Amino acid sequence: MRFLSISLVLWLSAVTLGSSQTPAPPIRSHNLRVIGFLTKHEWEAKLPVTPDGKQTTIHAQFTWSQNGQAIRVSNQFVADGKARPYLEGLYMWDPQQRTIVFWYVDAEGSLTRGKMKTEGGKLVHEFDQIAPDGKSVAYVAKVTPQAEHAWENEIFERNGTELKPMVNVRYEIASE
C-alpha cells in the first residue's frame, strides 16, 4: 500500500510539473532560413518623392508563424504620419516544388503569387500580380541583404526575357 501511495504522489507530481511547463517553441523551418533575417527587425523604406513633393515610406514587418513553418509579412504605407494598409502575405516552403513560395494580397485586392530562389547572393522573387479585374503582370524582384541592418529591393517588370526597371528601394531598420 505504501508503494502505491508513493507511486501515486510521484505520478501526480510529474503530471503537475508537465502541465505547468511552457511548451517548447516550434522548430523554425530550415528551408526559410535564407529569409529569416527579415524577422529580426521592423523595416522602413523611403519611396521616391512624388511630383507634388510628398514623402511616403513603407513600414514592413516579417514574423514567424506560430508553428514556425511560414513567415508572415505585413506592410503599411506611411505618409504625413498616417499609416494605411498596403499588403499582407505569407512565405512558406513548398515541398513538392522544392522552393520557397509566397502570396500577398494588397489593400486594393490584387493577388501576388510567386516563387523565390537565391542567385548570386540575391533573393530573386519571380511573381505575377493579378489585379481585381483578373489582368496579370509579371515581375521580378531582386532582394539584396546588406549585413543585418538593411536590404535593397529592385523591382522589374518582366516582358518575356526582358526586365524593365520599375523601382529600387532600400529598407533599413525602422526607428522606434
Length of the chain: 176
| 155 domain-assigned | yes
Closest CA to 125 of 135, 134, 116: 116
Residue 110 has pLDDT above 80, yes or no: yes
Tell me the one-letter amino acid at 87: L
Give how many domains the chain has, as a whole number: 1
CA gap 113, 46 in Å, rounded: 24
* Average pLDDT for 115-131: 97
Which DSSP category does 69 fall into?
S
Question: What are the tens digits of pLDDT across the range 146-167?
Answer: 988 999 999 999 999 999 999 9
More confident residue, 111 or 20: 111
Domain ranges, residue 103: 28-173
Question: What are the tens digits of pLDDT across the range 1-44?
Answer: 444 344 333 333 333 344 445 455 567 888 999 999 999 999 99
| 19 domain-assigned | no
| 6 domain-assigned | no
**Domain CATH code at residue 146:** 2.40.128.20
Cα–Cα distances in Å, from 74 out to 38, 61, 101, 107? 12, 5, 16, 11
All three cell numbers of 151: 536590404
| 134 domain-assigned | yes
Which DSSP category does 80 fall into?
T
Q: Are strands 56-64 and 70-79 parallel, antiparallel or unpaired?
A: antiparallel
| 36 domain-assigned | yes
| 3 domain-assigned | no
20 CA to centre of own chain: 33
Contact 118, 143 (CB under 8 A): no
| 147 domain-assigned | yes
pTM of the model: 0.82
| 165 domain-assigned | yes
